[in-house]
Every structure is written in C-alpha cells, then in structure tokens.
Amino acid sequence: MDTTGRDIARQVAVISATVFMIVAAVVGAGVLGGTPVQDLQDGALAADATLLAPAGPAFSIWTVVYVLLVAYAVWQALPGQRQRARQRYLGWWVAVTAVLNGLWLLLAQFATLPLTVVGIVLLLIALAVTFRRTVTFPSEGFADSLLVDGATGLHLGWVSLATVANITAWLTAEGDPSWAAAGTAIAVGVLIVVGIIGLSISWRSGWRIAPALAIAWGLSWVAVGRLQGEPYDSTVGGTAVIVAVVVLGVSVVGAVVSRVIDLRNAEA
C-alpha cells in the first residue's frame, strides 16, 4: 500500500488538532490568566452548581485522556503508521474529536452557556462515530487497543456524562425556577438514563470496558458531590452509586463472558 499525500496530511492534521486541544485547554482552563472553569458562565459549570455536577476531582480524568491522545498523535505520526488502513479509517475522526474538545473549552471561556451545550453535543456525536469505527475495524496489538480504542472509549464515556452535566447546568441557569421542586426526581431519572446509555455502549461495542470506566468514574464523583458537598441530596447520591456499580459491574461481567466464549470458539 503506497503512501499518499492524504496520509501525510492526516498525520499532520492529527498533530495539529492535538496541539490545538492542549493550547485550548490551557487557555480555556484559565491557566494563562483567564477565568477558571468552575467560575465560568457565572458559576454554572461549578461542582456545586447542580445536582448532577461531579465533584472537582472527577475532572482529573482529563489528564489521562490528554496523555493518551498526545501519545496517539506521536505514535500515528511514525512512518510505520502512515499507510495503515486503520489509521486511514480513524485518524481524521480522532482529529475532529480533538478539535471539538478544545473548542468546548474556548466556548466556555469566551462564549455563552447555550453554545457550550452545542459544542459538547457535537463532540459527543463525533466521539460516538469514532468509537463505533474502532469497533467495526478491530485493533491490531496493544498500542492500537490503548491509544485508539482506550483513549476514544474513555473520552466517549466521560463526555457522555459531561454532556448531561452541561445540559443540566444550562437548564438550571436559564430554566423556570419552579423546576427546582422536582429537581431530585429529574436528577434520578437522568442518572438512570445515563446508566442505560452506558450499558448500551458496552453491549454494542462487544463489552469494551473503557467507556464504562469513565462513566462509572464520573457517577462516583457525582455521588461524592451530593453526599459530601453542596447541594446535598442523599437520593441523588445513592442513585449515582447504584448506577455506577451496575454500569461497571455488568460491563466487566460481559467482557469476561465474551472473552471466555471467544477462547472456547478458538479452541473448538
């Protein structure tokens, strides 16, 4: 398979998108003198702004995602990866997700809350497409599994929950104050939907663990925020714990059973 100009363009695009994402993260997080994320949009994105906002430490997952994406950008730029069919199938989509990731932080820093919702929904859609493509074109080796499937799966799982939190922040900030009376019931319902989505992603991907890990991580910190922080809500906190355990537990069992079946079929 010969190298084409499109292959080189793809490699450059992935590197450029990743650099943009990192720079946007630095700017958007307020490291260079801007407003920290928790203070943006009049505090609508803070850990104590809504019943579905994860506690602050939850966002450390971004460090893992960014490290994996940077490692992928370097790895895919190697000459040996240039002509690989899987890179051709996935590279452009990974670049799109990196750009949209950085764009959300810039929207949060410089635009309006509704535009952050648009940005994160677009990121979620791009991640869903990218992750689906990793499933339809299976990985080849450890690097593929970790830097492509693992990074995209964690990214998708976390953004799935972050989308819910972002939309909730928007509705809380601009919605009818009377909705607050039904806040607990609505939050519980949304958490159940998140659980269903998490299980659906695991099932449809052949029980891959990465998305479930990220969703369970986020739900765990939603629980911490509601049980140990403000606003306190034991019902929402307890529901978050249960949903996290179910999503991760079922996904792990599904992965083990699927692996056992594959081994038995290979030996047959």
Parent domain of 177: 5-267
The pLDDT value recorded for residue 250 is: 97
pLDDT in tens, 1-57: 566 889 999 999 999 999 999 999 888 777 766 677 777 777 778 888 899 999 989
Q: Which of 257, 156, 155, 263 is nearest to 206 (CA)?
A: 257
pLDDT in tens, 172-210: 888 767 666 688 999 999 999 999 999 999 999 999 999
Give, in order, the Cα–Cα distances in Å from 114 to each of 63, 125, 174, 245. Answer: 26, 17, 9, 32
pLDDT at 257 over 90: yes
DSSP single-letter state for residue 43? G
The pLDDT value recorded for residue 39 is: 74
pLDDT in tens, 198-246: 999 999 999 999 999 999 999 999 999 999 999 999 999 999 999 999 9
pLDDT in tens, 43-98: 778 888 899 999 989 999 999 999 999 999 999 999 999 999 999 999 999 999 99
Q: How many domains does the chain have?
A: 1
Query: Who has greater pLDDT, 123 or 180?
Result: 123
Q: Which residues of 25-63 are buried (b: 16+ CB within 10 A; e: fewer)?
A: bebbbbeeebeebbebbeebbbbbbbbbbbbbebbebbe
Torsion of CA 11, 12, 18, 24, to 10 degrees: -160
The pLDDT value recorded for residue 180 is: 67
Structure tokens at 233: 């809500």
Average pLDDT, the chain: 92
Query: Who has greater pLDDT, 17 or 141?
Result: 17
pLDDT at 114 over 70: yes
